[in-house]
């Protein structure tokens, strides 16, 4: 069986500096596809450059995130905090028509991208449902018969393993963690956030999925946080949006 590699990213949130660092890190690798679990925009100040970079990727497969939906007016964002709402209103004004159209083309998750492999922004139960706990994980496993599901939304790198009736929830705290997949188990895997980590590690998080053998490698790499923060400051967006980048919260 041919060994293939997939780049797995999520929650970029208009952070061009972080996305650029990830793409530089992997530029010599060959990927069958790039899998993205949504939230291309929101919070950050580079929505157009981010979408432009993603559109240029070969075999880019993505689902929409909740910030993408609110930016497009699919939802009103009443559940967003003040800073998130202000950032989305700013993004609506700045997004070019062609990039808005690309954002609107992103399908609702969950989406099967390979046999038995699904991507979703939140849960397989509902695209906006967070998966934090064992209860959340069990609901997601029961909602759809996938073998492996990549998720985002929480901004926390983690994975859930279901084998038989036993479910383990693991928070990923170290970069370059290697997860070898058990063929008799099912998995929910969150690579963390490229553009706005919340696990107290400010580095850009993503993952790589390998076939034959089945393996996932969690990555966290440094990027120019000050450049991303300066763009947010210059855009006149809330102070909290650039300060949180510095601490990964």
**Residue 245 binned pLDDT confidence (cut-offs 50, 70, 90):** very high
The whole-number average pLDDT for the span 193-203 is 96
Which residues neighbour 129 within 8 Å (Cβ) at sequence distance 6 or greater?
A: 122, 123, 136, 139
pLDDT reading at 15 higher than 60: yes
What is the token pair recorded at 201?
């590690």
pLDDT reading at 1 higher than 60: no
Q: What is the pTM of this model?
A: 0.96
User: Residues 223-232: pLDDT tens digits?
Assistant: 999 999 999 9
% of the chain with per-residue pLDDT over 90? 94
What is the token pair recorded at 32?
């069958």
Angle CA(52)–CA(53)–CA(59) in degrees, nearest 5? 105
What is the per-residue pLDDT for 89?
A: 96
Dihedral (C-alpha) 178, 181, 182, 188: value to the nearest 10 degrees? 110
* d(C-alpha 66, C-alpha 43), whole Å: 12
Regarding the domain with residue range 5-109+174-180+191-247, which homologous superfamily does it belong to in the CATH classification?
Answer: Metallo-dependent phosphatases (3.60.21.10)
Q: Distance from CA of residue 90 to its chain's centroid?
A: 21
Candidates 152, 207, 188, 211; CA nearest to 26 is: 207
* d(C-alpha 80, C-alpha 95), whole Å: 19
3-state secondary structure of 169: strand
pLDDT reading at 246 higher than 70: yes
% of the chain with per-residue pLDDT over 70? 99
The whole-number average pLDDT for the span 123-146 is 97
> Cβ distance 30 to 4 under 8 Å?
no
User: Residues 44-91: pLDDT tens digits?
Assistant: 999 999 999 999 999 999 999 999 999 999 999 899 999 999 999 999
User: Residues 169-183: pLDDT tens digits?
Assistant: 999 998 899 999 999
pLDDT reading at 113 higher than 70: yes
* d(C-alpha 84, C-alpha 76), whole Å: 12
Q: What is the mean pLDDT of the chain?
A: 96
* d(C-alpha 42, C-alpha 34), whole Å: 20
Angle CA(193)–CA(197)–CA(198) in degrees, nearest 5? 125
**What's the half-sphere exposure (Cβ side, CA atoms, 13 Å) at 186?**
19
């Amino acid at each position: 069986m041919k060994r293939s590699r997939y780049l797995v990213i999520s929650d970029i949130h208009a952070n061009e500096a972080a996305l650029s660092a990830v793409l530089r890190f992997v530029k010599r690798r060959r990927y069958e596809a790039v899998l993205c679990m949504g939230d291309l925009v929101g919070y950050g100040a580079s929505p157009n450059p981010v979408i432009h970079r993603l559109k240029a990727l070969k075999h880019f497969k993505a689902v929409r995130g909740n910030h993408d939906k609110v930016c497009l007016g699919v939802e009103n964002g009443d559940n967003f905090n003040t800073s998130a709402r202000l950032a989305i209103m700013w993004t609506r004004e700045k997004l070019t028509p062609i990039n808005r159209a690309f954002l609107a083309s992103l399908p609702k998750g969950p989406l099967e991208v390979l046999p038995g492999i699904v991507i979703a922004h939140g849960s397989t139960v509902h695209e906006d449902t967070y998966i934090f706990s064992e209860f959340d994980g069990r609901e997601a496993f029961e909602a759809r018969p996938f073998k492996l599901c990549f998720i985002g939304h929480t901004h926390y790198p983690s994975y859930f393993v279901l084998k038989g009736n036993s479910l383990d929830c693991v928070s990923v705290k170290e970069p370059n963690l290697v997860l070898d997949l058990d063929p008799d188990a099912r998995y929910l895997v969150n690579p963390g956030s490229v553009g706005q980590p919340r696990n107290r590690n400010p580095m850009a998080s993503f993952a790589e999925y390998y076939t034959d053998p089945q393996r996932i490698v969690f990555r966290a790499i440094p990027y120019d946080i000050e450049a991303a923060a300066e763009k947010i400051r210059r855009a006149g967006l809330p102070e909290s949006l650039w300060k949180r980048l510095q601490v990964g919260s």
